[in-house]
């Protein structure tokens, strides 16, 4: 399952270049050229990494990061910007950036920095404790229940990640479809019900609540 990257870059040529490069290297990429549009997208969808330019229309990268942080978004962020002053560098790190790349930069350097941030972030969040008897091993897509391993399918593991990231919230069917299926796949109600059924078998029926005509809610004990 490829890492999902969000890119905010207002230069259309550079934006297209970066998207092509990242996709060629196995990433799934969404991009915007406008800060407010980016803000809406980051509230709606979950990513593994965010790349932010600073000088963009309507909402600059610094204030965008402050905004999404206030909503509890913990996705690692790398700033990519021509603003190379020490104050800007300090500001970027102080508001929560993982890295800060000064333009112009080579695509190889960008890839090295992305890999380093993802490796560090994944290492720090490899295992999620569900309860006293259950751990979710994110890197391998396994649930460990009382010492017994249960291997999840890719989509089941991704679905559980979605639930954990939005615990105790009602998550719409549409949101799950958008997150779980890529643009070239057809979402399936029956498949989603199967994934839910399989997770309930392991975690318990009470853990995932069906909300009629709305979606599902993952209950944290």
User: Is the torsion defined by CA of 141, 171, 124, 75 positive or negative?
Assistant: positive
- Report the predicted TM-score, pTM, of the whole model to 2 decimal places: 0.58
Give Cβ neighbours of residue 158 (< 8 Å, ≥ 6 apart).
1, 179, 180
pLDDT above 70 (res 183):
no
Please name which of 81, 118, 75 lies closest in space to residue 103, comparing C-alpha atoms. Answer: 81
pLDDT top residue among 217 and 185: 217
Indicate the pLDDT class of residue 197, thresholds 50, 70 and 90.
very high
Statement: residue 125 has pLDDT above 70 = no
Using CA atoms in the order 77, 82, 86, 91, what is the torsion angle rounded to 10 degrees? -30
Mean pLDDT (the chain, rounded): 87
63 within 8 A of 42, measured Cβ to Cβ: no
Listed in sequence order, the residues at least 6 apart from 61 whose beta carbon sits closer than 8 Å to its beta carbon are 8, 35, 52, 53, 54, 55, 79, 81
- The predicted structure's pLDDT at residue 126: 66
Q: Are 178 and 45 in contact (CB under 8 A)?
A: yes
Higher pLDDT, 3 or 36: 36
Residue 199 binned pLDDT confidence (cut-offs 50, 70, 90): very high
Does residue 124 register a pLDDT over 70?
A: no
Task: Return the structure tokens found at 179.
Answer: 């997150």
């Amino acid at each position: 399952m490829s890492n999902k990257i969000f890119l905010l870059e207002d230069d259309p040529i550079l934006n297209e270049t970066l998207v092509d490069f990242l996709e060629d290297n196995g990433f799934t990429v969404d991009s915007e050229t406008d800060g407010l549009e980016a803000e809406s997208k980051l509230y709606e969808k979950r990513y593994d990494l965010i790349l932010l330019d600073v000088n963009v229309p309507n909402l600059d990268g610094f204030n965008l990061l402050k905004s999404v942080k206030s909503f509890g978004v913990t996705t690692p962020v790398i700033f990519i910007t021509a603003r190379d002053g020490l104050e800007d560098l300090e500001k970027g790190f102080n508001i929560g950036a993982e890295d800060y790349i000064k333009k112009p930069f080579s695509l190889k350097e960008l890839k090295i920095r992305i890999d380093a941030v993802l490796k560090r972030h994944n290492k720090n969040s490899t295992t999620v404790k569900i309860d006293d008897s259950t751990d979710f091993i994110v890197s391998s897509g396994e649930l460990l229940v009382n010492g017994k391993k249960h291997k999840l399918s890719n989509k089941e593991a991704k679905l559980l990640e979605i639930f954990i990231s939005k615990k105790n919230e009602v998550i719409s069917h549409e949101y799950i479809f958008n997150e779980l299926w890529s643009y070239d796949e057809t979402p399936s109600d029956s498949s989603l019900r199967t994934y839910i059924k399989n997770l309930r078998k392991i975690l318990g029926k009470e853990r995932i609540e069906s909300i009629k005509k709305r979606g599902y809610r993952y209950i944290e004990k």
